[in-house]
Amino acid sequence: MGEPFDPMGEGVLWIVDTGVFIACGRQQNNKYTALETFAQRKASRS
């Protein structure tokens, strides 16, 4: 599947489901910190 738009670009909204957070686990989990870093990087570009 191609990328129809810049996923990190301005005007792109990320809407996230329950299971994603559950899969990332607790705050100490490296998946959780990766998600946090990813979201903050996206927010800084919006």
Partner 1 sequence: MIPQRVYDELGGAPDRSTPGQTPINSAITAGWVTVAAEPDYTTSTVSQVMDDVRTYIAQSSNRPEDQMEKADTALAAVAAERLEEGDADFAYVVTTDTDAGDGIVSALSRNGFDERVQFKNGFELIEEIT
In the complex, which residues of this chain contact partner 1 (CB under 8 A)? 1, 3-5, 7, 11-24, 26-27, 30-32, 34-40, 43
Contact (CB, 8 A) for 36 and 16: no
What minimum distance in Å lies between the beta carbon of 33 and partner 1?
Answer: 9
What minimum distance in Å lies between the beta carbon of 37 and partner 1?
Answer: 7
Contact (CB, 8 A) for 26 and 32: yes
- Rounded Cα distance, 14 and 32, in Å: 16
What minimum distance in Å lies between the beta carbon of 8 and partner 1?
Answer: 10
